[in-house]
Amino acid sequence: MMEDTKTQQEDAGAVRTIGGFVAEDYRTAEVFERHGIDFCCGGNVPLDTACRQKGIDPAVILDEIEAAKREPMERSQNFAVWELSFLADYIVAVHHAYIKDNAGQIVLYARKVAEVHGGRHAEVKEIAAIFEKVAADLATHLREEEEIFFPAVKRADAAKKAGKRPERQDIDAIRGDLARLRREHEEVGDAIHTIRRLAGDFAIPDDACNTYAVTYRKLKEFEDDLHKHVHLENNILFLNAERDLGDYD
C-alpha cells in the first residue's frame, strides 16, 4: 500500500506543473513559497523538475501539499471556479490597483536610497534602476490588459454563455495577446527575482535608515502581490480563455 502511494506521488510530481497545483487549490501556494519555488512566472514546470533544481525530494513537497489541502478553505480563495469575467474584474480591482497605488512610491523610495546609500551599498543603485523599468513596463502592460485583452475576454465569455460565437476580432485579440502577455510576465518576474537576489532576500543592513528599511519591505510586499497576480492570469485566466477559444477552431 505504501509503495502504491509513493508511486502515485512520483507520477503526480512527474506530470503536474507547479502552476497546476496552485490553480487547483491556492492553499498549496504557501508550500511553494516556503521552499522558494516559483508558482507564477515559472509555474509551467513539472513538480519533479522544480524540485530537482532546488535539491528537494518531490515526495516531501507532495506530503506538504496534502497537509495544506486539509486546512479550511474559504470560497474566496477558490479562484479556479470563478467565472472569467469576474476573475478579470477582480484582478483589475485588487492587483492592478495595488500596482498603481504602490509602484510610483517605491520608485521614489528606491531612488532616495540609491542617492543616500549607493556609495556603501552599490546594489541599491541597480535595484532602483531595475524597479523603475519594471514600473514603467507594468504601466503599459496593465493599460493594454484593461483596454484590450480583458474586455475581449469578457465579451467572448458573455457570448459563450449566450450560446453564441464570439466576434472574430475578440478571438483574434485574445489569441494574439496571450503569448506577448505571458512573455511580459516572465520578463517582470525575472526582474523582480534579480532585485531579490541583489537585496539579499530583502535583509535590511545594520546601517539602513528608515527609508531603506521601508523600501525593502515594500519591495517584498510588491513581489508577494505580483506572484499571486501573475498566477491568477497565467495559470487560470489565460488557460481558461485559451481553452474556451478551442471550441471555435
Q: DSSP readout, 32-94?
A: HHHTT--SSTT-SSBHHHHHHHHT--HHHHHHHHHHHHTS---GGG-GGGS-HHHHHHHIIII
- Reading the block at residue 141, the C-alpha cell is 502592460
Mark whether 108 and 211 lie in a shared domain.
yes
- Angstrom CA distances, 5 to 11, 12, 24, 59, stand at 10, 11, 20, 10
Q: Which positions of the chain have pLDDT values less than 70?
A: 1-15, 41-43, 72-77, 247-249
Mark whether 9 and 131 lie in a shared domain.
no
Domain count of the fold of the chain: 2
Residue 47 near residue 17, CB atoms below 8 Å: yes
Which neighbouring-strand residues pair with 17?
46
Q: Which domain covers residue 42, as residue numbers?
A: 2-77
Mark whether 71 and 162 lie in a shared domain.
no
Mark whether 204 and 158 lie in a shared domain.
yes
Which percentage of the chain shows pLDDT scores above 70?
89
Mark whether 124 and 231 lie in a shared domain.
yes
C-beta atoms surrounding 62 within 10 Å:
23
Mark whether 92 and 190 lie in a shared domain.
yes
Mark whether 113 and 63 lie in a shared domain.
no
Q: Is 185 buried (19+), middle (13-18) or exposed (0-12) by CB count in 10 A?
A: buried
- End-of-domain residue from the set 19, 51, 77: 77
Residue 236 near residue 23, CB atoms below 8 Å: yes
- Angstrom CA distances, 103 to 1, 95, 119, 233, stand at 52, 12, 24, 19
- Please state, in angstroms and rounded to a whole number, the distance separating the CA atoms of residues 9 and 66: 11
Residue 85 near residue 153, CB atoms below 8 Å: yes
- End-of-domain residue from the set 77, 105, 135: 77
Minimal CA–CA distance to 50: which of 35, 64, 63? 35
Mark whether 167 and 46 lie in a shared domain.
no
- End-of-domain residue from the set 77, 98, 120: 77
Which residues 6+ apart lie within 8 Å of 69 measured at CB? 25, 27, 28
- The C-alpha angle 174, 175, 181, rounded to 5 degrees, equals 75
pLDDT for 76: 55
Mark whether 169 and 209 lie in a shared domain.
yes
Mark whether 225 and 167 lie in a shared domain.
yes
- 136-187: pLDDT as tens digits: 999 999 999 999 999 999 999 999 889 899 999 999 999 999 999 999 999 9
Mark whether 189 and 205 lie in a shared domain.
yes
C-beta atoms surrounding 6 within 10 Å:
12
Mark whether 134 and 220 lie in a shared domain.
yes
Query: What is the DSSP-derived secondary structure letter of residue 95?
Result: I
Length of the chain: 249
